[in-house]
Structure 1
Amino acid sequence: MLEDQNTRPTHQPQADGAEPVRLRLAVAQTEQREDPTDPELLRASGAQLRELITRAHTAGARLVQCPEGALSFPHKRVMSSIPDEVGPAEWSRVDWAAYADELAAVARRAGELGIWVALPAAHRLSDGHRPHNSMYVIDDHGRVHTRYDERFMSETKINFMYTPGTGPVTFEVDGLRVGCALGIEAVHPQSFTDYEQLGVDLVMFSTTGRETPSPLPTPFYRNLDVYSGVNGIWISMASTMPGNSAVFGPDVREPVQIAEQSGTALLVTDVEARTGSTPWLHRLRTGVYDAKQQTEDTRSLQRTSF
């Protein structure tokens, strides 16, 4: 089992010298279990999550982010209705009673400790519709505060497994506005520009799979680092894979990363509210160019001469 990592990233001080509003965030690394039809696996994941939440609370965190598939990441072949092939998922095989019990137990632990928890899980729909791939946001009273549903999915997810979500979701903790992203949304810039326009301070991105920064950066890690700087927001990545979890900051020279070792782990660090006036990118998106354009100047309109 990994030791918890408590770090404070290097940040730029405010021009007026005032201390920025901070939120202590815990990003969890968990084991990945892929069969939600097995109640013993679900219970093992639930116990592991509750232990990590307790450790996060001990480390002073106010919000703990869990990876996609922290309770169970249903494997496409385990769920397939076609033997030995990838096909439409047979969700009726899931032990939904055990699943619900573990979700409720995690929420109770959050309420007992007074800590917010972002917990990705499948969210059942009615009338036989495929579930959402979701992130539940549980508040510090143990209540489901809101839920984000993955919007931009892989072909396997959208064709065989899940119902896509419809829009971004934000919530606030201790003065910071937080957004949610899941799965492969790190390859969709809109997932993050949407949140920049909504004025978030932090986007939590939870995923599975191996996306490590070395020896060569892979798309998720590289993209999140760029999105953080361009949009002026913090981005955290939680994963089930060793060494994959990290926190990217707009003014941070190097992302804070969990060491590449097996087992459960926590990265505990402070993220900050956006400071100063409206970020420059937002200002440029709100019509600053319009009044300065020359829409009737023939020298501007003519594009086929020097």
Structure 2
Amino acid sequence: MTARGTLRVATVQFAVTADPRHNGRIIRRFMARAKAARADAVHFSECALSGYAGSEFTTWDGYPWETLRQETEHVMAEARRLKLWTILGSTHPLTPPNKPHNSLFVIDPRGCIVDRYDKRFLTVGDLDYYSAGDHWTTWTLNGVKCAALICFDVRFPELYREIKKLGVEMVFQSFYNARVAKRGPHIHTYIMRQTAQAQCGINYLWMSANNSSAWYSSWPSVFIRPDGFIVGQLPMNRAGMMVNVVDTHKTFYDASGRFRADTMRGQLHSGTQPRRDPRSRNRTAL
């Protein structure tokens, strides 16, 4: 384990498929690579184990739930063997007729699931396949407070403000923007990383943001520091892993830092307001 207040994070991307067995084999190989690279935690993309409904398949009819359960147990056993925190994108079935959750499982070095984040904001397409989550998932890893979010959550700044209020420093956010119909750059190529960067810079958060690398993948996995700067990026459309270090002892550019706490308490200005000055109150006079 690295020094307290720091984390070595392995961010992984690969071409997610509809086959949990195939995905599971790839996941376990990357877990071994992450351990060899001295990572404290390994992070996988949205639905990395289960496959992503609406893309890899279009119905839950005949889905191999028992196989998914077995593969999840294999990943848990590997986390225990390697003594490695594992943030696993998958699907969590509910009681029929409820649709399953799109989830991130937080697996500790004992191989135990310590919590599960369920995607709160579902896209219009997701609504056909998934049920929304209703809770925060936070945990402390080596003195660093972490949280989980998934893909479309990135469009909702309120989520980042709330986890900031909880004292979160590091976000594991898993995405799926792959197998797009247009075989080339499109809007996600130009806005997804940038939106994640903005959320980090506005709220002073570290982030591991990964994507499936299945062709065509709109953008590559990135690692973002609290000023919004991308410090690591994988190649597009290729499986790979990168290891980056979260160091909460370092200080980065934070223009809004002085005013953030007041803003979160509802004070939507900085400095003093001359409320009694008639020249301030009269907005129609020169």
Q: Same fold (TM over 0.5)?
A: yes
Flag structure 2 segments of 5+ consecutive residues without an equivalent.
none
Percent identical among aligned pairs is 25
Shift of 1:204: 1.2
User: Matched residue of 2:125: which SS?
Assistant: helix
Residue number in structure 2 paired with 1:185: 153
How far, CA to CA, are the matches of 2:189 and 2:98 in structure 1?
37
Deviations 1:264-286 (A, max 9, x none): 3111110122668x943432323
The amino acid across from 1:304 in the alignment is T
Instruction: Report if the CA contact (8 A) 1:70-1:240 is conserved.
Output: yes
Residue number in structure 2 paired with 1:267: 242
CA 1:165/1:213 → structure 2, altered by over 3 Å: closer, same or farther? same
CA 1:301/1:166 → structure 2, altered by over 3 Å: closer, same or farther? farther
How far, CA to CA, are the matches of 1:111 and 1:142 in structure 2?
4
Instruction: Report if the CA contact (8 A) 1:119-1:135 is conserved.
Output: yes
Shift of 1:292: 4.1
User: Matched residue of 2:25: which SS?
Assistant: helix
How far, CA to CA, are the matches of 1:233 and 1:213 in structure 2?
27
Instruction: Report if the CA contact (8 A) 1:20-1:272 is conserved.
Output: no
Shift of 1:290: 9.3
Shift of 1:217: 5.4
Structure 1 runs (4+) greater than 6 angstroms displaced: 211-214
User: Matched residue of 1:94: which SS?
Assistant: coil
CA 1:46/1:279 → structure 2, altered by over 3 Å: closer, same or farther? same
Aligned length: 271
Residue number in structure 1 paired with 2:190: 218
- 2:116 counterpart (147, 163, 180): 147
Higher relative contact order, chain-length normalized (CA < 8 Å, sep 6+): 1
Residue number in structure 2 paired with 1:26: 10
Shift of 1:77: 6.8
- 1:244 counterpart (220, 232, 235): 220
What is the root-mean-square deviation in Å for CA atoms of aligned residues? Answer: 3.1
The amino acid across from 1:239 in the alignment is N
Deviations 1:133-187 (A, max 9, x none): 11110011100011111111210112x1111112332111000011111122222
Q: After superposition, where does 1:10-159 map in structure 2 within 5 Å?
A: 21-33=5-17, 35=18, 41-76=19-54, 79-80=57-58, 89=59, 91-158=60-127
The amino acid across from 1:305 in the alignment is A
TM-score computed with the length of structure 1 as normaliser: 0.78
